[in-house]
Amino acid sequence: MENSGKRIVFKSLIVVIFVLYWIRLINLQLGEKDYESIAINNALNKITLYPSRSNLFDRHGKLIVYNTHIYDLSVFPFEIKELDTALLSKILELPGADLLHLLEDAKVKAVRRQKNNANNKSTTFYSNLSARQFAFLRENMFRLKGFFIESRTDRQFASKSAPHALGYLGEANETLLESDEYYQPGDLVGITGLERFYEKEFRGIKGIKTVWQNRKYEQKGEVKDSQFNYPSVAGPDATSTLDIEVQNYARQLLEGKKGSIVAIEPRTGEIIAFVNYPDYDPNTLVGRSRANTFKSLLTDPVKPLYNRAVKGVYPPGSTFKTVMAAIALQEGVLEPETTHGCGGGYRLGNIRVGCHPHGGPLDVRGSLQISCNSYYCQVFRDVIDNPKYANVKEGYAVLERHLRSFGLGSPLGIDLMGESRGNIPSVNQLNKRHGKSWKSSTVISLSIGQGEILLTPLQIANLAAIMANRGWYITPHLIRTIDGITDTAWQRKFKFKHYTSVNPMHFETVIEGMAGVTLPGGTANGTGIPGLEICAKTGTAQNPHGKDHSVYMAFAPKENPQIAIAVIVENGGYGATYAAPIANLLIEKYLNPGKETQKPDMEKRMLESKIQ
């Protein structure tokens, strides 16, 4: 019968639809796809709580780097409603076209975040608001639906004199963002200097506040689950080894000249001063001006960003004679009393190493005080032509091993990135350069710190520290302590004494010579400071590109030394002309803190002189 058939049609239709829909539910609710986490992610907004970075103090507890608050304008791009572009463009002082461009950017980022199910759903629209913009925006916030102001911290430098040591911050780049998930786009990270080296220690720990957030981006209270909420932890206070007074003074003395100053406390390896010139004002590499300043610094021909003290390599010139003497004494080819004649230069076949006029035959002490080239040509030959060894190459290899024990030819391991190794030529390198049949006379210029030998200013300062310590050094470093951090690898490293392969007693002979350098008859006579026993060695590094570099290394006092220092002034001529006065004034400043210099004329001359 037709009607009973129709009755079945109705009920079957109902059942068919229910079964179809039920199968769809199986698919949705019991399927592979994890809709639950998508749902959770939808409704949460994880707000990053930015910690303050470590405050940095100098060795006497003076604050040298601290934080300031900066404010960013952030946006939920899809929540923008009836945007008053004229108002926003007036506040931000941006042309309308740029504003639209920024809006487009923000939208693209937001869509990407939505696709990746990112936790933080807003994006930074305009960073580092000026005080004026901030005040203006705060008043008008209610007119800018979808926008809000976020706070972060940026760096401020109490002293402008140590930019290369302290370093600067910049936005985390793609590589870092990919390799370390701690960072999010826009985060500030240490790019150079201590900021870079101690990034992990200084940055603190970001916190997270998780809030329920509805579709309209209205916050509906905190998620009551401790797994989603934790406060930020500020970076611990850190104490630097720098003496900011000495540092500032060093910066003043070097101004107008190209070069580097490194001063070390010999007993601890702590760096007291670390200066390069040309440099830059670190407070211009913060906030809104960061990108522009950085661009102009990068293209500046005088290279203000260049960290000469650890990256620049120079021939050490005559300062190298101290090391040669110590090694020769150790090798037994030189006695403190050994004398060699000079005759205005060293001649061997058609090779001649010139010397300046001075009185005749000298011992080790005199040779250092007067810096006799001939003497060290002879000493160098005695060392590598030593009949103890089969040939000159084996003799040279012995010399090379000694030199390497002085921390030369490889990075010392300072707590800065990008330290150069300098160069101590290996036998191979000499073979390549001079052919396989070279003799001691072929490489004779090495004896006076020329030729293939290259050292960083830091390495020269460390040589001064080795002399001061009579044969050992601790890796020079710029951070003394970071609160709450103990017994880490780097801390152990900065306590370890590296001994050279030269017996401590031989250094006494060398020091006797160095003690005479600032006295009458010495190469730096007249630059000394009355009452201070400064042990020093001048150098004049030949420079194929122009005027010689003025080099000087020193430590003081002679007994129980407190400071070792190296100064290099590019194109400064003789070591005694610029490097020695600057170093000695700094030694005086450090040893007699708070007192007027006894050499006001010399100080004035150094402060005022400029080398183009």
- Cα 190–195–198 angle (5° rounding)? 105
For other proteins, the closer of residues 9 and 291 by Cβ is 9
Between 21 and 142, whose beta carbon lies closer to other proteins? 21
Minimum distance, C-beta of residue 38 to other proteins, in the bound complex (Å): 5
Cis peptide preceding 581, ω within 30 of 0: no
What's the min distance (Å) between Cβ of 25 and other proteins? 5
Considering only the stretches 14-22, 80-88, 392-400, 419-427, report the one whose residues sit in contact with other proteins under the rule CB under 8 A. 14-22
In the bound complex, what is the minimum distance in angstroms from residue 199's beta carbon to other proteins? 37
C-alpha gyration radius of the chain: 33
Residues 57-86 that bind other proteins (CB under 8 A): 78
28 binds other proteins per the rule CB under 8 A: yes
Contact with other proteins (CB under 8 A) among 1, 61, 97, 221: 221
Residue type, 478: L
Within residues 509-548, the interface with other proteins by CB under 8 A covers none
Q: Which residues contact 550 (CB under 8 A, 6 or more apart)?
A: 259, 540, 567, 568, 569, 572, 573, 574, 575, 576, 577, 578, 579, 580
| CB atoms closer than 10 angstroms to residue 136 | 16
Rule CB under 8 A: is residue 610 a binding residue for other proteins? Answer: no
* Residues in 83-122 at the binding interface with other proteins, rule: CB under 8 A: 111, 114
Among the listed ranges 27-35, 513-521, 531-539, 586-594, the one in contact with other proteins (CB under 8 A) is 27-35
Q: Output the six-digit token pair for 493.
A: 């490293």
CB of 24 to other proteins, least distance (A): 5
Q: Which positions from 164 through 203 interact with other proteins, judged by CB under 8 A?
A: none
Distance between first and last Cα of the chain: 115
Does the footprint of other proteins cover residue 30 (CB under 8 A)? Answer: yes
258-277 binders of other proteins (CB under 8 A):
none
Q: Which helix (H) or strand (E) holds 99?
A: helix 96-115
Place of tokens 């009949």: 387
One DSSP character per residue, 513-557 reads HHHTTTSTTSTTTT---TT---EEEEEEE--TTSSPEEEEEEEE-
- Closest by CA to 593, choosing from 564, 563, 565, is 563
Binding-site member from 22, 180, 401, 497 for other proteins (CB under 8 A): 22
- Measured from the CB atom, the residue of 13 and 351 that comes closer to other proteins is 13
Task: Please report how many Cα atoms fall inside a 13 Å half-sphere around the Cα of residue 39, on the Cβ side.
Answer: 5
Distance CA 113, CA 124 (A): 13
Q: Decide: is 228 part of the binding site for other proteins (CB under 8 A).
A: no
Q: Which of 66, 212, 230, 389 binds other proteins (CB under 8 A)?
A: 212
Assess 210 for contact with other proteins (CB under 8 A): no
**Given the complex with other proteins, which of 47 and 328 has the nearer CB atom?**
47
CA angle 166, 265, 603 (to 5 degrees): 80
User: Rule CB under 8 A: is residue 505 a binding residue for other proteins?
Assistant: no
The size of the interface with other proteins (CB under 8 A), counted in residues, is 40
Smallest separation (angstroms) from other proteins to the CB of 37: 8
Q: Is 1 in the site for other proteins (CB under 8 A)?
A: no
- Tell me the torsion sign for CA atoms 606, 267, 561, 246: positive
5 or 349: whose CB is closer to other proteins? 5
Distance of CA 308 to the CA centre of its chain: 10
In whole angstroms, give the CA distance from residue 424 to residue 401: 10
Q: Does 489 bind other proteins (CB under 8 A)?
A: no
CB 52 within 8 A of CB 207: no
Neighbours of 298 (CB within 10 A): 10
In the complex, minimum distance from the CB of residue 118 to other proteins, in angstroms, rounded to a whole number:
15
298 contributes a contact to other proteins by CB under 8 A: no
List residues binding other proteins (CB under 8 A). 3, 6-7, 9-11, 13-15, 17-18, 20-22, 24-26, 28-31, 33, 35-36, 38-40, 42-43, 78, 111, 114, 212-216, 220-221, 224
